[in-house]
Structure formats: C-alpha cells, structure tokens
Amino acid sequence: MADGDHQGKQPGSDGNKGDKKATKQDAKSKGGKKGKKAHGGPAGATTGGATDVPASPPAKRRVVLTGISSRAWEHPADRGALTALRELRGFDEVLKAIAGLWNERAWRLQFLGGSIKVDHRQYPRLHRLYAEAATSLDVTELPELYVQNDRSLNAMAVGMKQPFIVVNTGMIELADDDELRCLLGHELGHVLSGHAVYRTMIIVLTNAMLRMAWFPIGAMVLYGIIAALYEWWRKAELSADRAGLLACQDPAASLRLSMKLAGGGDLSEVDTTAFLEQAAEFERAGDLRDSVLKLLMVAFRSHPMPVARAAEIRRWLDSGAYQRILAGEYPLREDDATASMTEDVKQAADSYRESFTRSEDPLFKLLRRVGDGATDLGAWVGSGAGKVKDWMSAAGRSARDAAGGAPNGHDDQR
C-alpha cells in the first residue's frame, strides 16, 4: 500500500457514492457461474456517417467486480511468457541484483519533487476517474498517482515494494473521461498482476546495461534476459488492456484509445472498421521478408503496435469472455494461492497454438504448411535463403545509390 492521500480511502468516494459491495459469499456464487451466455453486442456501437468513430454509450452504472482476481484478465501468453522468463538461467541472480541496485525511495522522491501528486485537490478530475476505475476492479487501496510534465503519450506503473503510477500530461490532454478511466484501469491492472516488478527490471537493465558488463552471468545472458523481458512485456500489455476495459466497461473508449495512440487526438477523419482492417493487413501483409522485419521491429519494443492491440481487444470481445466477466463469471483473488501453475502453462500453450493457427502472417502460414507436409522445408530454406540474399543485395545497391546521390557525405532525407 502506498503512502499518501489515497491510503485507507475507499475508491469511488468521489464518484460512486452509494455503491453497495457484494458480500464475499455473493462473489463466490458469481465466480462459480457456468455457461452464462452474454447477450447482444458490446457497449459502444459505432456511430453512422463517414468516419464511423466509436461513440461511448450513455453513462450507466458500472459493475463492481467484487473480489476479482487478476487471473480474470491476464492473457494466457502473459502468464506463459512470465513462467518461461523465471526459468531462464541467471534470472534469479539478475532479480536479486536489481533489487540491490534499484532505489525505489529515490524514484518516488523524484516524482514527489518534480511532478504533481494527484488527490482530490490536485487534478481532481483525474482523481475521480482513478477512483472510479479502482471501484470497478474492487481495489480499496490506491497506489500513489503522479502527473509529470511530458507531452509523450505514455503512462507507467513502476516499483517493487510499493508500486506507483505515473501519467504524462500528453495522455491527459489527449484522452476524454472514458478513455482516461480505461487508461488508469490499464495501469492498475499492471499493479494488480504484479507486472510493476518486472517492468522496473526492464527500465533498470536497459538504462544500465553498459555499466553492468561486469555481471558474472555474462553480457550475452543478460542480453537474452532483456529480450525475454520485452517479449513478456508486450504480452503483459495485452493483459493490462483487458483490465482497462473491465475498469471503464466501455469497449468504444478502449478502441478509441488505441486509435489516438496511433494517430493523435483528432478522430474526425478516422474510421474504426478501416482501423481494424489495417490491423489485419499489418498481420498478413507482404512475404517472408516482412515477417522477419516485423520480428526485428518489435524485438525491443515495450508495447505491441496500436493496431495489434485494438485487434486483440476486438478478439477478446468477440470471444464472449468480457461479457461473461461482467455477468459475474470470474476467478476470485482469495483463490489465487491454490490456483494451478500447470493450468496456466497449459492455457499459455493453447493460446500460442490458437494464435499460430489463426495468424495470417506469411511466416506462420508457411510453417503451418510445413507441419502439414504440404511444403518441403529443405527446398523452402534454399529458396528462402536465395530470396533473402537477393533482397539484401538489392538493399545494398539502393543504399550505395542513395549515398552516391548525396554530395559531401550528407544523407538525402525526404
């Protein structure tokens, strides 16, 4: 629990007065419902017109997800990647070293001295939305929330013993109330899932990698751990996106947030359907070269591409899981201690298998054909290597041509 004005307060004291919490027995009965069907489409149907920007529905009472466990929103690939990460050689040593190097008190003091600490007097609108998001997720002890003067579109949850949340002014200026509620729920999801510890590891390791060259496990192992951390982080973002949706309970706001992250705040000329079609195009576009480029492009990227995040939320909505949770069918945090790790790994494997089967990425499609015996792998490797060689040669010629056309050694930028 964080120190400060949020300590001991009931979230929702500024916006959800009168909410009666269900008893623990009620939560158990909710969590045990089986086969309850969700009726109708998600809230926030798109508006008509040329741009088809999703509009939020009229304000309604949000469901308090009493006693909900973070397992309800955690993406199976998130749990699987984290399990694999913990099994990496040297991971425990790195975690212990980071715990010794990381000065959480100094970071908190830095934000306390250089940012705005949010409460009912400072950024009261943001404080109210934060409390409302926390109420939906049944969080009674709010982590400290800070606003820092930064126009980049970002927010983060960091810390090991007492995680806290930081939101950039750029996000506050960009997002409306529904989208901010979604954003704050996203960051709360990170905290509740225990992501902040490993996210802190990424920040410290990437900022101090050169200074840690002396580390006994070796630079290559450390490099591998950082790459694995980034792979997990991207999966963890998918989990937090689901938590954000459960906090705001407004699918339209969740989609709009991804659209704004991709193209800025003006959605008057953005089409929701086209944006989701763009996500499908990104996944299936091009040939094997594009598949390799996409892998390299995201290798050390903390977040999935905005179009991919929107598509993943759309798939979660279409699966009915979101509606089932709102109807009361979800695991309880009081049962977390007895939850099966084996089941988590199985679900992760199933998730990767389903993603592999569904993917329209050229590399995945080829591997499926190889698995089905429809393609000779040796022939493919030979022809593929030739294609890559030709591609690299062409790229090299293009680079030389460009250099020749730029006098005095200056790049010809356009």
Catalytic residue positions, numbered: 187
Q: Which amino acid is at 238?
A: L
| 86: its two tokens | 């913990």
DSSP 332-381: BGGGGGG--HHHHHHHHHHHHHHHHHH---HHHHHHHHHHTT-S-HHHHH
Cα–Cα distance for residue pair 262/109, rounded to 1 Å: 32
Nearest to 256 by CA among 314, 303, 301, 304: 314
The three-class DSSP label of residue 63 is: coil
Axis crossing angle, helix 377-404 with helix 362-371, rounded to the nearest 10: 160
Q: Which residues of 275-310 are buried (b: 16+ CB within 10 A; e: fewer)?
A: bbebbeebbeeeebbbbbebeeebeeebbbbbbbbb
